[in-house]
Structure 1
Amino acid sequence: MQRIEELGGAVRYIAANSNALEVDFQFARDGLSDDHLRYVGALENVETLRLQGASITDAGLIHVGKLAALRRLYLNQTSISDAGMAQIVTLLELEFLNLYGTAVSDEGIRRLDRLPKLTSLIVGDTQVTSGGIAAIQRAAPQLKIVPDPAEDHRRAKIVLAVAQRLLARSEEDLTARQRDVEELAPRAGEFKQQEEAAKKQFEDARKSAEESRRKQDDAQRVADEVKKQLGELNRRSGDAQRAAEEADKRAKEKPDDNNLQRQAEPKLREAAAAKKLFEQAEKQYEDAQRSYDAAKQRFEEAQTKADDAQVQYEEARELSERARNAKKNLEDAQKVLDGARLRVANAERLSTDAP
């Protein structure tokens, strides 16, 4: 381990409470040779080995092939070729292999189907062809390869379809903007006046609706107050009626008792007066409720007018803005169209590449 560090490498534990090691030579560069890899081969539990950019060749991989626990191997931008793959196929625990920028070809990666746990392979900027990638994918379906020409081609087709739809929309938008310049821009002043008139109508209608709402609320409060009074008078009328009936009953039971007769008479009058007050309040409540219903209807009509006026104002404002900004909108639409055409051209180029 000390010798590895002297060569510019680093050895560290992958995680706390684990004896798995990561050996990193990515900063050693020219100070590392094939023979130096024997120091790595002497370590146990090496699960990650980073050799990217190191000055190693296929000969050095004989030491790497001894790392039985190795799961991740970075050989990108080294001088590794197909010959080195013979050592890699002994790493039965290997899950990830980066061969970017190496001299490996289809012949080299063909051997990798012997690695049962390999799921990720990077072969960008190598001599590997799309045919070689397709062959290894058939032999090892679980293997995800980057780049994957077939998958890239499929995605490029999707991108092209989306780009073409956007282009069609951009062309339609440009046509609409050109029409605005021709038809609306010369009438910008007229549309501005219409906008201001519609705005005033909307503000007036909104104020009228707010006033109607206040009158409705006032009518509601009056109706609620009368309803409350009606309840109280109903209670009093009931109490007076029961007292009168009781006094009248006692007087009838003793018709010769003038005192009972005199007591019954005022109670009967009181009950009749209470009933009359209740009936008057009941009529007042009905009038108040009708007033509220009428106020509510007027508010709803005023609110509907305000809503309609708002829609008309927003339409007039939108038309005025389109007329006022017609030239700028046309310029923007042209830029969007140019960008859409460029995206379609790029997507067509990518989608025509053979998988």
Structure 2
Amino acid sequence: MIQLLTPEGERVPHAEYDAVIDALSHDELRDLYRDLVLVRRVDQEATALQRQGELGLWASLLGQEAAQIGAGRAMRTQDHCFPGYREHGIAWTRGVDPMRLIAMYRGVDKGAWDPAEFGFHPYTIVIGNQSLIGTGYAMGIQRDGAVGTGETERDAAVIACMGDGATAQGDNNEAFVFAGVYNSPVVFFCQNNQWAISEPNDRQTRAPIYKRADGFGFPGLRVDGNDVLGVYAVMTTMLDRARSGDGPSLIEAFTYRMGAHTTSDDPTKYRVSAEVEVWKLRDPVARYKRWLMSEGIADADFFDSVEAESDALGERVRADTVAMADPDVDDIFDQVYVEPHRQVEDDKAAFTAYSALFETETTEGARA
């Protein structure tokens, strides 16, 4: 497993990836810490808001911040990411306001940000489907001639995200076939958080996930997913490889889901607390902070400023969430097809008539 930073915050030399990290300025290294802290704060606030009845659901990324920030910061402007439903950290690095994500989980938005603007596509609830979509988009990049030109601002690549559970899906394996055969510029990014809802890895596969790439004819690597430097270095290298025309790869970020699968899940039903305690010692934020301090890259004033910014962000998330207006229910029907559709129009009319019954009952009750 590739690791550049131990859980104790000690730097591990690596001949292949040291140059990638050495190229980062101290400002960029500090920014990675800021990303980790702020994304975790958004996640904590969203989880609390769901518990308070303000969100219908939330998929927490707690414990996976380094994997997502490392991957997202390795992308160039012209790259595109196809997420699952937990990639809040990558969304952050691509400039998507966290409130857009929260609005979706509150039910007032359908993930309607512009993928062309952010290079970050809508969340995918169907497990593994984003792998096929991302591969198709990568094949389109090839046909547009935006791969292997040597032009830094033109050559592009795709990240297709997945969890360990998605690797058992047919869509995911079909994506591997297409990507391998057509040498598509896509990096499959598996955040192996050990649990596919309630199923551990040994119920999903008998071999390490990264080794699956061998059967499809492209390289696979395993990196410490709680090591932001390691993930950044590996993803930077594999994206460069894809942009240059050398084809797909699979990165398995070995991490851990510290919280529930979603807020509708109770992880105490299927895993022991001792396991969680072990992974707390590998916390991605704490280890990176220790390294920044030991290297003199960041001081107490910097950490205090990030904490203050985190508090301000938390206040904004809470205030903006409760201030969101209720959605227009008719919008459910209006956004199904671009052109008018008879069946949808009939369904909308039936629903409108049904809803009117409740308005009548409310009015009559008030008069009585």
Q: What band does the TM-score fall into relative to the shorter chain?
A: under 0.3
Using structure 1 for the length normalisation, give the TM-score: 0.22
Using structure 2 for the length normalisation, give the TM-score: 0.22
Point out which structure has higher relative CO (alpha carbons under 8 A, 6+ apart): 2
